[in-house]
Structure 1
Amino acid sequence: MNALNQAISDIGVVPVIKLNNPERDAAPLAKALCEGGVPVAEVTFRAAGAPLAIKAMKETCPDMIVGAGTVTTTAQIDEAIAAGAQVIVTPGFDPELVAYAQSKDIAIYPGCTTPTDYHAALKFGLEVLKFFPAEQSGGLAKIKAMSAPFPQFKVMPTGGVSLKNLKDYLSSPVIAACGGSYMVTADLIDNHKWDEITDLCKKSREIVKEARNG
């Protein structure tokens, strides 16, 4: 894997973040994640102000890896890049978006859950694919089955990942990292429970180490 993909894989877990008030919450959230040993985030474009949140997180924690999630248009890719995003994550496989991101020299993890998706991804020389929604699409069993004909890909399952099944996913060599929102729920963010977020990140990192070293 390239350096960025390897860095994300080394962290092992990617918080998937939807911010309702980025002006207020992006900076302290970035600090809470980094203090918990998880200096990475996927800020989804499902909420207005995603570029603002990406910019604030990068300014607060310059060494943090910040990506843009739920990206569905080339205009959003441009907004994400302008804000400082380092990776684009899409819910599905859109060849136009993949080609556009590559033309802008930014990493992209498209959502892929079928052999057809994986075949399409092959043509773009991708290393990491998002598998979404993971649990609803067959979970780890399907990811392992898909890796047989497509061993060149590492996978980032997102959707239904929690502290309970994180170790199961990460114990598989097919998994690059897991995306999850359990450590950045609306309740935790809106009520400024930064210490709880940090604690959940620390627990996640412990699981990453157990899974990778076990």
Structure 2
Amino acid sequence: MPLPLSSQVDSVLDLAAVVPVVVIAEVSDAVPVARALVGGGLRGVEVTLRTPAALEAIRAIAEEVPEAVVGAGTVITPGQVAAAVAAEARFLVSPGWTEGLLAAMRGCGVPFLPGVSTASEVVALLERGVREMKFFPAQAAGGTAYLRSLAGPLPQARFCPTGGIGPGNAAEYLALPNVGCVGGSWMVPADAVAAGDWARIEALARAAAGLRGPASAQV
């Protein structure tokens, strides 16, 4: 049986080593994609709010795949915070943050990762009591070298790097002491979704779940 919601997500960074970033164009794809990811060992599913189908996709996964922990990504307005939580998103991820967006996320009742790409943004969030963040766009913003440099002066900050991360470099990020997990879409290729090749998605998810050993797939 799935754990109660309050037990499922205390920290997005501890949900899994890899959090799939999923773009759903058709609501009918949401449930089979989520089932394939869970079958491969990735219970966390970040559905990005980039398509008109996203909110309904989140709701469908929450209702029909209870063993998944579904969240909303690309959250950029307070209105989207409210809409995502109403659709039963269990965590929120943003590519950046403003004071208004941060206030909405802090008041929404679910864990969240505001996005940063500079040391000043990290310090600003630490000043506001936020220690867990998304680092985006990871590769373009300096990659593992930048995150390694932040670990010395800002050891209390932990990150989920996303952007330009794939099976070839994910392990390098996961080896850093200030990285809790990475986000990526390589295990949900668009052609596999279009073809309904759920077995391929499950196999890719299984490989991703193994990047930090068997325990990385557990909540």
TM-score, normalised relative to structure 2: 0.90
- Alpha-carbon deviations, 1:58-115, whole Å to 9, x = none? 1122132111111111111111000101111111122211111112222221111111
1:15 corresponds to which of 16, 20, 30: 20
Q: Matched residue pairs, number?
A: 210
> Is 1:25 matched up with 2:29?
yes
Considering only aligned residues, what root-mean-square deviation do their CA atoms show, in Å?
Answer: 1.9
| Residues 1:211 and 1:107: Cα distance change in structure 2 (over 3 Å) | closer
| 3-state SS of 2:80 partner | helix
Instruction: Specify the code of the residue in structure 2 equivalent to 1:198.
Output: E
Q: AA paired with 1:172?
A: L
Aligned residue type for 2:14: S
Letter matched to residue 207 of structure 1: L
Q: Distance in 1 between matches of 2:111 and 2:153?
A: 23
The whole-number CA distance in structure 1 between the counterparts of 2:128 and 2:111 is 11
Identity %: 36
Q: Secondary structure at the match of 2:140?
A: helix
Are 1:129 and 2:133 an aligned pair? yes
Could you say if the C-alpha distance between residues 8 and 171 of structure 1 is closer, same or farther in structure 2, counting changes exceeding 3 Å? same
> Do the aligned residues in 2 keep the contact of 1:155 with 1:176 (CA within 8 Å)?
yes
Kindly indicate whether the alpha-carbon contact (under 8 Å) linking 2:97 and 2:115 is maintained by their aligned counterparts in 1: yes
The one-letter amino acid of 1:20's match is: A
Structure 1 stretches of at least 4 aligned residues deviating more than 2 Å after TM superposition? 2-10
Confirm whether residue 101 of structure 1 aligns to residue 114 of structure 2. no
**Following the alignment from structure 1 to structure 2, what is the Cα–Cα distance between the partners of residues 114 and 77?**
24
Decide which structure has greater helix share.
1
Unmatched 5+ stretches in structure 2: 1-6
